[in-house]
């Protein structure tokens, strides 16, 4: 990379960070309003998460006496930074120049990067020196281990499909985005992909720590768990990292399963800027739909799982489902 | 005095409470945990003693009714009914039949609202907020009905010694029946949400079990006892108010599920069944309600004069939504205020069930187990002794010594008079 490219990437990363935070908070507001309406409530205004962040930023930032200050204060920064970093690898709506780090990472890297914000939260929780935060941190680690199996199975299934067709860079998200995977499989593989889609939609609440997989935070049990000691600016950073992560995981699902662009479907020919705008709007709509089905709808319709039930659900139910989906995708090639 | 020693356990020692999102009122759980599993559980009440009994000993009996209503923020009628039943026994006041019926109607409406409130709280403890909103939305209807009948949403001020203060007239029956129809439908919806939901079953089935034998030993009351298969209900065992005339039975979970497991799920079942039972009871009461006066002694001044002449002691009981409530009252001739007033809230009998319920379960189960007995902590609380930062428990010998000392003090002051 030349100096110019690096500067360009850095500038792009800042812009991405800004937009992903704004977008994530906007999504959080929409999620809250949708959930409220389904519970026959009015709900907060959509801008509520922005007001919350603004409030947290001016509030006192308390560091507990028995916390490890550098780790306690560092964790939120790492969480936010790593969440933004993932976004630099995920293609968006085929807009030229995105992802900023195109060609530098693949799905395996994204899988590892996804662990980082969660690990930062674990470190922050353990550094807080509160028993509730410690319990929350342990639960977070268990949850991470739990949802890794269905996540990995899905990614392997995708890579195997593309590799078996002799496509170059099977692990690259750009490859997946360029060729919607549904068009490459027959009826059996289609069934398998459906199973993988359901699995991935249910991995999202685990990744984001939402009900029913919110055992690490579990307000009524451990009073917010990992975040119990966090306040003010640090809590705002964690909230922002969660907002960015919402965009990240929904983008990942859209990138894997629904990479179509509106301009391609309608086959409209217009200038590049207009096309990019239309595609971006369509992309955000897809993200919202994915968020509605994987976060909002799930969290209002079930009770919270115990931590051992989280593992059971991810390994025994979703893990088996994902493996079955993977085998169906593989079996599809045989027919 | 003995200091409670916190023994260093093999695993970890952790505390939940007194201020914690799992608890709606202050109580403290001391837990030995190993990972997520609770090895040993104990609790320490005494965080919100309010001295209501002491206040009652400085008021006349009619004033105490309103004070008793305020012991609990949910059971508006429970404590006043128990108190007046004790006083009526002492003063030998015959309550008119119509007043008995009206007391029962308000009592059953209160049970519906209390159980729905509980259902909402339980759902919230499980992280199932949609069910919480549903239960509380349904509850608004009974609150409106109670406000329509009594003028108040919570503290109804319906009870008077020797009867009730307001009538429920024939013109009001259609409005009551309208609400009962609403609850018939709401019951089906709530049963579907709470009993058929897979995640609720995952969390509540075989969680927080209180076996029949344990229940026999610990003597819980109300739904907590009935969910463990113990047939115990003041309304059936010792009928009072309008209950003797009604078709009423013990609500145990096997009526719906065919078995008794004594877990949290069974306690949900019992409460939902009791909502249904209360709807039926209100209908029966309306059907059979006789005409007649509302008060044995309509004039408060006459009533006070009669009470001033009454002497003796009695226990008044009522089946509250949480189980049996007991008020001990002692009156002396020539005194306006009771000489002694002792309140046993239902949760006092249910507290100890927490320990066998919690041991062996997970930290995640604490909120729902704590909520499953529907604790009324502030209503129950007794004095806690704290000296130099240490909590102390008085032994039996010390309590005996203190009471002997107090008796001597009273004797001395009496002889000095």
pLDDT of residue A331 exceeding 90, the answer is no
Contacts B372 to A, Cβ<8 Å:
none
Number of A/B CB contacts below 8 angstroms equals 80
Residues in chain B: 417
pLDDT of residue B329 exceeding 70, the answer is yes
Taking CA–CA distances from B124, the nearest residue in chain A reads A220
pLDDT of residue B2 exceeding 60, the answer is no
Percent of chain B exceeding pLDDT 70 equals 97
Rounded to whole angstroms, what are the CA distances from A292 to A32, A299, B242? 10, 10, 52
Q: Residues B362, A147, A164, CA angle at the centre, nearest 5°?
A: 160
Q: Which domain holds residue A211?
A: 3-332
* Best CA proximity match to A329, nearest among A199, A191, A183: A191
Contacts A223 to B, Cβ<8 Å:
20-22
Q: Which residue has the tokens 């129950």?
A: B380
What are the strands of the beta sheet with B312-320, ordered from one edge? B312-320, B323-331, B340-344
Looking at residue A69, what is its pLDDT? 86
Exposure string of B322-360, with b = 16+ CB inside 10 Å and e = fewer, is bbbbbbbbebeeeeebbeebebbbbbbbbbbbbbbbbee
Q: Say if the Cβ atoms of A39 and B133 lie within 8 Å.
A: yes
B203 in any annotated domain? yes
**Is B189 at the interface with chain A, CB within 8 A?**
no
Structural domain count of chain B: 1
Residues B108, B282 contacting (CB under 8 angstroms):
yes
Structural domain count of chain A: 1
d(CA B50, CA B71) in angstroms, rounded, equals 9
Closest by Cβ to A221, choosing from B35, B130, B366 = B366
Residues B318, B85 contacting (CB under 8 angstroms):
yes
Q: Which domain holds residue B210?
A: 52-377
B398 in any annotated domain? no
**pLDDT tens digits for range B245-263:** 888 888 888 888 888 888 8
Residues A179, A167 contacting (CB under 8 angstroms):
yes
**pLDDT tens digits for range A235-276:** 999 899 989 999 988 988 888 888 777 666 666 667 777 777
Looking at residue A102, what is its pLDDT? 66
pLDDT of residue A140 exceeding 60, the answer is yes
B36 in any annotated domain? no
Q: State the average pLDDT for chain B.
A: 86
Residue B387 φ then ψ, to 5°: -135, 125
pLDDT of residue B408 exceeding 50, the answer is yes
B327 in any annotated domain? yes
Mutation for testing the B interface, residue in A209, A219, A295, A303 having most B CBs under 10 Å: A303
* Mean pLDDT, rounded, for A183-209: 84
Contacts A311 to B, Cβ<8 Å:
none
Q: Say if the Cβ atoms of A211 and B36 lie within 8 Å.
A: no
pLDDT of residue B115 exceeding 60, the answer is yes
Taking CA–CA distances from B33, the nearest residue in chain A reads A135
Q: Residues B321, B327, B330, CA angle at the centre, nearest 5°?
A: 165
pLDDT of residue B197 exceeding 80, the answer is yes
Looking at residue A50, what is its pLDDT? 93
pLDDT of residue A51 exceeding 90, the answer is yes
What's B364's domain CATH number? 1.10.645.10
Closest by Cβ to A304, choosing from B36, B127, B133 = B127
Name the minimum distance, in Å, from the CA of B126 to any CA of chain A.
5
Contacts B35 to A, Cβ<8 Å:
138
Contacts B134 to A, Cβ<8 Å:
39
**Is B365 at the interface with chain A, CB within 8 A?**
yes
Contacts B9 to A, Cβ<8 Å:
none
**pLDDT tens digits for range B342-373:** 888 888 888 889 889 888 888 888 888 988 88
Q: Say if the Cβ atoms of A300 and B130 lie within 8 Å.
A: yes
**pLDDT tens digits for range B122-176:** 888 888 888 899 899 999 999 999 999 988 888 888 899 988 988 888 888 888 9
pLDDT of residue B315 exceeding 90, the answer is yes
Rounded to whole angstroms, what are the CA distances from B233 to A201, B83, B227, B325? 48, 18, 12, 11
**pLDDT tens digits for range A87-134:** 888 877 666 666 766 667 778 888 888 888 889 989 988 888 888 888
**pLDDT tens digits for range B14-72:** 888 788 887 778 888 888 888 788 888 888 887 787 888 888 888 888 999 999 988 88
When pLDDT is cut at 50, 70 and 90, the band that residue B81 belongs to is very high
């Amino acid at each position: 990379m030349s100096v110019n490219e690096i500067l360009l990437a850095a500038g792009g990363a800042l812009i991405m960070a800004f937009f992903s935070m704004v977008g994530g908070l906007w999504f959080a507001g929409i999620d809250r309003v949708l959930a409220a309406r389904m519970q026959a409530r009015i709900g907060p205004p959509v801008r509520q998460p922005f007001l919350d962040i603004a409030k947290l930023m001016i509030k006192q930032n308390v560091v507990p006496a028995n916390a490890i200050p550098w780790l306690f204060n560092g964790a939120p920064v790492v969480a936010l930074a790593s969440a933004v970093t993932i976004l630099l690898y995920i293609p968006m709506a085929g807009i030229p120049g995105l992802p900023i780090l195109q060609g530098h990472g693949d799905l395996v890297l994204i899988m590892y990067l996804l662990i980082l914000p969660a690990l930062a939260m674990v470190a922050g929780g353990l550094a807080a020196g509160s028993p509730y935060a410690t319990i929350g941190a342990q639960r977070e680690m268990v949850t991470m281990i739990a949802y890794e199996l269905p996540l990995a199975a899905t990614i392997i299934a995708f890579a195997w499909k593309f590799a078996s067709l002799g496509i170059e860079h099977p692990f690259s998200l750009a490859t997946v985005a360029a060729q919607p995977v549904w068009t490459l499989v027959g009826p059996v593989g289609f069934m398998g992909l459906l199973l993988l889609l359901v699995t991935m939609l249910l991995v999202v609440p685990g990744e984001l720590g939402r009900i029913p997989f919110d055992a690490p935070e579990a307000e009524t049990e451990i009073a917010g768990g990992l975040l119990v000691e966090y306040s003010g600016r640090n809590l705002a950073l964690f909230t922002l990292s969660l907002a960015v992560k919402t965009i990240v995981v929904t983008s990942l699902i859209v990138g894997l399963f629904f990479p179509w662009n509106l301009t391609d479907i309608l086959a409209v020919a217009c200038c590049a800027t207009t096309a990019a705008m239309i595609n971006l709007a369509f992309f955000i709509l897809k993200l919202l739909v994915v968020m509605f089905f994987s976060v909002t709808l799930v969290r209002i319709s079930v009770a919270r799982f115990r931590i051992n039930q989280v593992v059971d659900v991810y390994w025994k139910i979703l893990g088996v489902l994902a493996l079955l989906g993977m085998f169906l995708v593989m079996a599809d090639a045989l027919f | 005095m003995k200091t409670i020693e916190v023994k260093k356990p093999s695993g970890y020692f952790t505390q939940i409470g007194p201020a914690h999102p799992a608890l709606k009122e202050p109580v403290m759980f001391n837990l030995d945990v190993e990972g997520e599993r609770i090895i040993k559980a104990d609790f320490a009440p005494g965080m919100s003693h309010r001295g209501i009994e002491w206040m009652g000993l400085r008021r006349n009996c009619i004033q105490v009714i309103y004070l008793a209503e305020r012991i609990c923020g949910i059971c508006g009628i429970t404590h006043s009914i128990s108190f007046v039943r004790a006083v009526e026994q002492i003063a030998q006041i015959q309550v008119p039949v119509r007043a008995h019926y009206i007391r029962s109607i308000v009592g059953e409406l209160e049970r519906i609202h209390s159980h729905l409130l509980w259902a909402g709280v339980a759902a919230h403890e499980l992280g199932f907020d949609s069910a919480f909103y549903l239960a509380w939305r349904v509850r608004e209807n009974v609150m409106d009905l109670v406000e329509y009948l009594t003028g108040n949403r919570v503290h109804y001020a319906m009870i008077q010694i020797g009867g009730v203060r307001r009538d429920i007239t024939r013109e009001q029956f259609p409005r009551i029946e309208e609400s009962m129809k609403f609850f018939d439908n709401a019951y089906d919806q709530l049963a579907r949400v709470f009993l058929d939901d897979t995640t609720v079953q995952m969390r509540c089935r075989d969680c927080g079990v209180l076996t029949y034998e344990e229940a026999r030993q610990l003597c819980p009351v109300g739904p907590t006892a009935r969910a463990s298969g113990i047939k115990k209900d003041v309304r059936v065992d010792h009928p009072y108010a309008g209950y003797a005339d009604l078709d009423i039975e013990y609500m145990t979970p096997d009526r719906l599920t065919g078995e008794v497991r004594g877990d949290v799920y069974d306690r949900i079942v019992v409460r939902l069944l009791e909502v249904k039972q209360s709807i039926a009871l209100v209908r029966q009461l309306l059907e059979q309600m006789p005409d007649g006066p509302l008060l044995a002694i309509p004039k408060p001044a006459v009533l006070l004069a009669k009470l001033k002449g009454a002497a003796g002691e009695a226990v008044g009981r009522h089946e509250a939504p949480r189980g049996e409530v007991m008020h001990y009252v002692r009156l002396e001739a020539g005194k306006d205020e009771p000489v002694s007033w002792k309140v046993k809230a239902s949760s006092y009998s249910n507290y100890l069930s927490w320990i066998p319920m919690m041991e062996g379960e997970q930290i995640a189960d604490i909120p729902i187990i704590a909520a499953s007995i529907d604790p009324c902590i502030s209503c129950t609380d007794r004095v806690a002794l704290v000296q130099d930062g240490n909590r102390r428990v008085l032994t039996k010998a010390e309590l005996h010594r203190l009471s002997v000392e107090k008796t001597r003090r009273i004797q001395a002051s009496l002889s000095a008079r």
